[in-house]
């Protein structure tokens, strides 16, 4: 059985849409989040995509979700900070957190924007060569979220009142900041800087080519560096596709999807030696058994299972229902009591 009881059950969606009808795709994402709340999920996360047909503005989507849900936590997994101004992002996130009643869980990553050579002139036409895309950008964001001074002036000019820190300020948001890390260095840094750690189905094969062993080393390095030690929060985000209530056509689609993605898991990919975890497809009991054998899963108490990117809304409904009603309980998770 899992070494740590599964306390929090979450899911992640990319929020795909049709270029010719983007509103329908965004509405579908909001309905999926609403379904997650009805099923008792603890959290719903959205992935960030730029110049693609997925959610480009999690801030806007999650702001809408705050008005259609009451309990479920809402997160980003992850927002690439290379595309963002930390001060402006801190303002947006604090606003959404207040609208949600303190349910926002922002996750971030560092590094230059994907395909930077293609977008640099549009994104940073005047400062492309001087932008800093490393940990310092995260530190600036954390400072703004924490309420550290952003300017040297606080007071009144004429009839205008000015603050020296980001407004609005949401006091509990700093404790709910997550870092999406796939290397030992990033895991340690997240711990040293009192962030929570998001682990996914991708890691860097630094010490080994055994995915679970590598991910386990990241989790342990993070907790060793974090002031909260073993109590420091880690969420794992593997792709799981239970088939308990799926129809024959759905099962065939799921198995084909996983089979097409399986070859990339055989060995590290590219110069960065990225190691991908296989997608887990099968009955909830079969998936639960594989997770119980997963060295890294046994170290976590929270998950944000990733939904496959290209499925239909009815597929997501079936997968989320099976996870909440069968897989989660098989792993020891208990849905919160529903209000009467």
Instruction: Encode pLDDT of 320-329 as tens digits.
Output: 999 999 999 9
CATH code: domain of residue 267: 3.20.20.30
Range of the domain at 161: 8-330
Q: 62-86 burial string, b = 16+ CB within 10 Å, else e?
A: bbbbbeebeebbbbbbbbbbbbbeb
- At residue 286, does pLDDT exceed 50? yes
- How is residue 194 annotated by DSSP? T
> Three-state SS for 123?
helix
Rg value, the chain, Cα: 20
In a domain, 337, yes or no: no
Report DSSP letters for 197-227, one per residue: EEEESEEE-SS-S-HHHHHHHHHHHHHHHST
pLDDT higher than 50, residue 32: yes
Q: Are 49 and 88 in contact (CB under 8 A)?
A: no
| Residue at 28 is within a domain | yes
Does residue 1 sit within a domain? no
Q: Is 46 helix (H, G, I), strand (E, B) or coil?
A: strand
Residue 45 forms part of a structural domain? yes
Distance CA 201, CA 203 (A): 7
Q: Does any domain span residue 336?
A: no
The pairing of strands 160-162 and 155-157 is antiparallel
Q: Please give the share of the chain, as a percent, with pLDDT higher than 90.
A: 96
To the nearest 10 degrees (0 to 180), the angle between helices 211-225 and 184-192 is 20
Band the pLDDT of 337: cuts 50, 70, 90: confident
**Is residue 340 assigned to a domain?**
no
Kindly state the average pLDDT of the residues 258-273: 96
At 211-233, the pLDDT tens digits run 999 999 999 999 999 999 999 99
In a domain, 138, yes or no: yes
Provide the whole-model pTM: 0.96
Q: Is residue 110 situated within a structural domain?
A: yes
Burial class (CB in 10 A: 0-12, 13-18, 19+), 123: middle
pLDDT at site 340: 55
Residue 20 has pLDDT above 70, yes or no: yes
Residue with tokens 């030992």: 184
Question: How many domains does the chain divide into?
Answer: 1
- CA neighbor of 211 nearest in space, from 182, 186, 185, 190: 182
């Amino acid at each position: 059985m899992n070494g740590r009881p599964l306390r929090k059950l979450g899911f992640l969606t990319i929020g795909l849409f049709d270029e010719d009808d983007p509103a329908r795709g965004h509405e579908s994402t909001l309905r999926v989040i609403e379904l997650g709340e009805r099923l008792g999920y603890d959290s719903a996360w959205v992935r960030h995509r730029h110049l693609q047909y997925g959610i480009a503005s999690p801030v806007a989507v999650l702001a809408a979700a705050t008005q259609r849900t009451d309990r479920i936590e809402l997160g980003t997994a992850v927002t690439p900070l290379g595309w963002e101004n930390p001060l402006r992002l801190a303002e947006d996130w604090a606003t959404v957190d207040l609208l949600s009643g303190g349910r926002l869980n922002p996750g971030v990553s560092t590094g230059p924007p994907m395909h930077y050579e293609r977008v640099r002139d549009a994104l940073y036409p005047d400062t492309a060569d001087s932008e800093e895309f490393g940990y310092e950008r995260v530190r600036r964001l954390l400072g703004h979220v924490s309420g550290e001074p952003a300017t040297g002036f606080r007071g009144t000019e004429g009839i205008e009142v000015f603050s020296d820190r980001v407004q609005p300020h949401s006091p509990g948001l700093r404790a709910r900041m997550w870092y999406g890390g796939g290397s030992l260095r990033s895991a340690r840094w997240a711990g040293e800087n009192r962030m929570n750690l998001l682990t996914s189905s991708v890691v860097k094969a630094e010490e080994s080519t055994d995915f679970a062993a590598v991910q386990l080393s990241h989790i342990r390095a993070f907790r060793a560096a974090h002031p909260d030690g073993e109590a420091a929060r880690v969420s794992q985000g593997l792709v799981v596709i239970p088939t308990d209530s799926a129809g024959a056509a759905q099962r065939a689609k799921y198995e084909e999807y996983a089979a097409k993605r399986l070859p990339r898991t055989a060995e590290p990919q590219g110069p960065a030696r990225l190691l991908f975890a296989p997608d887990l497809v099968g009955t909830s009991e079969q998936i639960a058994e594989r997770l119980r054998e997963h060295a890294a899963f046994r170290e976590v108490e929270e998950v944000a299972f990733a939904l496959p990117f290209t499925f239909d809304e009815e597929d997501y409904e079936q997968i989320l229902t099976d996870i909440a009603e069968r897989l989660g309980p098989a792993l020891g998770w208990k849905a919160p009591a529903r209000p009467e």
